[in-house]
């Protein structure tokens, strides 16, 4: 009986978590580094001119995302020297289905200390085989519980003696030989760009499309990158928070003239089903998580059979409603910008278990087109599952007391 109750509780909890994941939205998910964050630092960041244009033909040396089918959630990432996979792994990095900020199967580097106790490290290596006068390294990053964890995330170039960038547990971004250049927060999207100019021997750092730092940096060539989660110097295993982790996705190394967009789709129910009027409300957010504008964006919302649009509220003026779908268009979605479309559906009972599918497309090349589609069930409520879970826990405690 006890095992049955435990299983029931576990299944119900999974259901609650699954439904909760459908509507999980980080309030800081699209928060840029503020001017105030930069102004608080001694180096006076966010003041620099933009990186010089690269007029050479576009080249892409590496382009990694951790979506399926190449990578499987719950497992280590696939490896190989192909430019679309890590060439090597350190520790036990895991691909996960989602995190609160990076919701489309990123890579997670955590602090489970399996490689300790003296030398905990977890990361991936990316190889670069071609030479260029300019290199642009970009990636998406979000930390969880890094605050006070005695962990830090690092970016290394060519196996140098020190990391180029460090994202520390005190929420400061450090540049090698310079010091702190910006601040950041846990559960905050960071779209990081590192411009390396071999001709001018110069480094430019941008985060969320804002200039953070520009200064001298000698670079003979770029051969490899290493993204690493490690403990801070002098920390002991007892001090390290095992819950701290960093999510990483969309790693791109190019020659600087390669421009791409990254549309991400997120849909959630904003109101439960109204049994009297059979209406369900949805909020769709389309974000361009890149430093380049997406042009001719089309948002297609495929309606389940047995439903019709009762109302629509969109920041886009160009929306077309038919029996089968809602189409919204915009000529351009800028870098690190987002748009939202809210719809209310009248839903027949037979459509309650069907889904609303939203797809975002554009005329601009995308680095990751696995995250621009999402489906959410029209019916169902987490309340019943939560009640079942709580009831199972209560019954389990009663049984344990009687034993």
Mean of per-residue pLDDT scores for the chain: 80
Q: Does residue 296 form part of some domain?
A: yes
**Do 40 and 181 belong together in one domain?**
yes
Asked if residue 42 has pLDDT above 50, the reply is: no
Evaluate whether residue 312 is within a structural domain.
yes
Residues 241 and 327 in one domain: no
Verify that 247 and 313 share a domain, yes or no.
no
Of the candidates 231, 238, 257, 227, the residue with the CA atom closest to the CA atom of residue 61: 257
Q: How far lies 249's CA from each of 89, 124, 284, in Å?
A: 15, 12, 22
> 125 and 216: one domain?
yes
**Residue 156 covered by a domain:** yes
Question: Which of 254, 273, 304 is at the close of a domain?
Answer: 254
Answer whether the bond into residue 69 is a cis peptide, omega within 30°: yes
- Given a cut of 50, whether residue 275 has pLDDT beyond it is no
Same domain, yes or no: 102 and 250:
yes
- Burial (Cβ within 10 Å: 0-12, 13-18, ≥19) of residue 80: exposed
At residue 141 the predicted structure's pLDDT band, cuts being 50, 70 and 90, is: very high
Banded model confidence at residue 391, pLDDT cuts 50, 70, 90: low
- Tokens standing for 207? 């985060």
Instruction: Please give the structure tokens belonging to residue 255.
Output: 């020659």
Separation CA 185–CA 380 (nearest Å): 34
5/403: higher pLDDT: 403
Flag the least confident range among 7-16, 85-94, 185-194, 378-387. 7-16
Checking if the pLDDT of 146 tops 70, the result is yes
Whether residue 272 is found in the same domain as residue 334: yes
The whole domain housing 276 covers 263-383
pLDDT in tens, 392-402: 555 555 455 55
Q: What is the pLDDT of residue 30?
A: 36
Return d(Cα 258, Cα 253) in angstroms, integer. Answer: 9
Residue 234 is assigned to a structural domain of this protein: yes
Place of tokens 């278990």: 353
Q: Label residue 114 by pLDDT band (50, 70, 90).
A: low
Of 121-130, 139-148, 365-374, give the lowest mean pLDDT range.
365-374
78 shares its domain with 206:
yes
Q: Max alpha carbon distance in the chain (Å)?
A: 77
Residues 365 and 307 in one domain: yes
Domain annotation covers residue 126: yes
* Residue 26 pLDDT > 80: no
Please answer whether residues 220 and 319 qualify as being in contact, where contact means their C-beta atoms are separated by less than 8 angstroms. no
Domain harbouring 158, CATH code: 2.60.120.200
The domain boundary, picked from 233, 254, 275, lies at 254
Domain boundary among 200, 225, 254: 254
- One domain, residues 173 and 81: yes
pLDDT, one tens digit per residue, over 195-253 is 999 989 999 999 999 999 999 999 988 999 999 998 887 777 777 777 889 999 999 99
Residues 365, 269 share a domain: yes
Please state the domain count of the chain: 2
Q: Which of 34-38, 200-204, 339-343 has the lowest mean pLDDT?
A: 34-38
Name the helix (H) or strand (E) containing 18.
helix 2-22
More reliable by pLDDT, 61 or 387: 61
The least confident of 137-146, 168-177, 236-245, 270-279 is: 270-279
The answer to whether residue 25 sits within a structural domain is no
Other CB atoms closer than 10 Å to residue 193's CB: what's the count? 22
The two three-digit tokens of residue 56, written as one number: 């050479």
Task: Specify whether 169 is located in the same domain as 127.
Answer: yes
Q: Are 191 and 140 in contact (CB under 8 A)?
A: yes
Residue 298 burial by Cβ neighbours in a 10 Å radius (0-12, 13-18, 19+) = middle
Q: Give the CATH number for residue 321.
A: 2.60.40.1170
Q: Let me know if residue 17 belongs to a domain.
A: no
Same domain, 154 and 193: yes
Would residue 363 count as lying in a domain?
A: yes
**Dihedral (CA of 106, 107, 110, 114) sign:** positive
């Amino acid at each position: 009986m006890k095992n049955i109750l435990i299983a029931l509780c576990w299944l119900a909890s999974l259901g609650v978590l699954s439904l909760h994941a459908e509507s999980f939205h980080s309030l800081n998910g699209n928060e840029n580094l503020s001017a105030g964050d930069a102004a608080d630092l001694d180096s006076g960041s966010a003041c620099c001119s933009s990186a010089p244009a690269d007029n050479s033909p576009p080249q892409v040396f590496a382009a990694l995302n951790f979506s399926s089918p190449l990578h499987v959630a719950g497992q280590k990432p696939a490896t190989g020297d192909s430019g679309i996979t890590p060439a090597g792994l350190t520790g036990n990095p895991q691909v996960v289905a989602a995190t609160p900020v990076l919701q489309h199967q990123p890579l997670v580097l955590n602090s489970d200390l399996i490689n300790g106790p003296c030398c905990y490290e977890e990361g991936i290596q990316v190889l670069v085989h071609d030479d260029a006068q300019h290199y642009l390294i970009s990636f998406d990053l979000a930390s969880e519980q890094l605050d006070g964890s005695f962990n830090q995330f690092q970016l290394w170039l060519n196996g140098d003696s020190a990391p180029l960038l460090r994202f520390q547990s005190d929420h400061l971004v450090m540049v090698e030989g310079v010091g702190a250049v910006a601040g950041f927060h846990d559960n905050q999207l960071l779209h990081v760009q590192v411009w390396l100019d071999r001709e001018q021997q110069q480094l430019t750092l941008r985060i969320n499309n804002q200039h953070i730092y520009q200064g001298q940096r000698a670079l003979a060539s770029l051969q490899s990158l290493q993204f690493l989660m490690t403990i801070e110097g002098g920390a002991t295993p007892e001090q390290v928070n095992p819950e701290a982790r960093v999510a990483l996705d969309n790693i791109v190394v190019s020659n600087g003239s390669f421009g791409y967009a990254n549309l991400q789709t997120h849909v959630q129910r904003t109101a439960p089903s109204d049994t009297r009027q059979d209406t369900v409300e949805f909020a769709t957010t389309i974000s361009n998580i890149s430093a380049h504008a997406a042009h001719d964006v089309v948002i297609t919302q495929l309606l389940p059979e047995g439903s019709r649009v009762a109302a629509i509220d969109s920041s886009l003026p160009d929306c077309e409603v038919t029996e089968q779908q809602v189409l919204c268009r915009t000529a351009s979605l800028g870098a690190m910008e987002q748009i939202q479309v809210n719809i209310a559906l009248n839903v027949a009972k037979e459509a309650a278990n069907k889904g609303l599918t939203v797809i975002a497309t554009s005329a601009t090349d995308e680095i990751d087109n696995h995250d621009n589609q999402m489906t959410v069930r029209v019916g169902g409520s987490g309340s019943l599952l939560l009640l079942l879970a709580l009831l199972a826990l209560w019954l389990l405690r009663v049984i344990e007391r009687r034993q």
